Amino acid sequence: MFRSTGVWAAVAAVAVASSAMAFGTVGKMGQNFEHERITRHALGCKAGGLPQGLCFESDSLDEIAGKPPTWRGIFWGAVGAPDNPARLLMTSSIAHCDNGDFVDSPGYPNTREKAQGQLIACRAEMDRNLNRAVEDAAALLDDRGRIKNSEIPTIISCTYVKVRGPTARAKCNVLEDLGLVLHAAQDFYSHSNWVDHQSIAALSLENPRGLNNTGRAEWLNLRRDQPFPDGLITGCFDILSNVSTDAGCPGHVKHYYLNKDKGQIDPTIGKGSTPRGQIDDNFKKAVEAAIEDSKDKFYTFKERLEAKYGPAKAALLVCAITHDNPVKTCRAS
């Protein structure tokens, strides 16, 4: 995470790219901590979140969701890390489920196969990162099956800025893996036409077809292979494609016209502030689907822990990941 009070200068330098790339991560440039708020609704212990015993306690929730900046700067959190300029993931299609654009029209500058391939690759990356979280969780326990306090972040928080190294604490590695999964899954609903109504105007590159679904996409269920949803697309993204001119992604369905990245989530989910997010309840449906899917991703993670390590050890690992002082509060059954 950035720790200097001059962080906003760095953020401003990349605001054109980062503010358009995903559900918001910061509280500037029209963003309102959307990724953080979605993650808190999904994984926290308040009503509507995970049940007691599985939900993230306060400090652990801060680690995965992030929190508003203090005088020391932004605390990105694991879910926000892909939007951190230091991670160099802002233009990664697989980190944000971008560039899955296609219109069945002569001369369209992308093929159906390439468009679907981008989204299939994004889904596959979620699966890989979820498996990596399962593998990394093993380092939380010692040879006798006890939680290792040295692998739990305490006074010094996780950073999520650099590629992991041998000195990273195991809980930080697991949370980083899960953050990458959640970020991509949440962006899927913001960047795609899964939940959308289009406007009443004629269909066009600026007004592509919406699929008008409600709730999470079964295609993103990582428990089994799924057929690709008919008509599913996301917008073309490059550094210039967040403006309404044709400066970026010429001739494509652009991220600018399709994303629902920004809007009010707390205290209630309100209207979105992007062109697509302002149509009907598109933003609200995208947020609700992202919350539902984020929960399901954590349940899938728990199931994979149980399959690999057995129910008893998996329960201890989940406790270590979600509790703030697991050495004291988590016990092997």
Cβ(79)–Cβ(37) below 8 Å: no
The distance from CA 327 to its chain's CA centroid, rounded to whole angstroms, is 29
Q: CA of 163: how far to CAs of 134, 224, 271, in Å? A: 18, 29, 36
pLDDT grade, residue 113 (50/70/90)? very high
Query: CA of 261: how far to CAs of 19, 42, 50, 278, in Å?
Result: 8, 17, 24, 11
pLDDT computed for residue 163 by the predictor: 56
**Which value, to the nearest 10 degrees, does the dihedral of the CA atoms of residues 269, 272, 278, 284 take?**
-40
The pTM of this model reads 0.90
pLDDT score, position 75: 73
pLDDT at 91: 73
Give the number of other CB atoms < 10 A from CB of residue 330. 19
Interval 200-222 mean pLDDT: 96
Confidence of residue 323 (pLDDT cuts 50, 70, 90): very high
Comparing C-alpha atoms, which of 266, 270, 279, 156 is closest to residue 207? 279
Residue with more model confidence, 65 or 333: 65
pLDDT exceeds 50 at position 88: yes
307, with CB counted inside 10 A (0-12, 13-18, 19+), is exposed
Say if residue 11's pLDDT is above 60: no
Cα–Cα distances in Å, from 258 out to 211, 234, 279, 293? 12, 7, 11, 20
Tokens representing 237 are 């993204």
| CB-based contact 291:265 (threshold 8 Å) | no
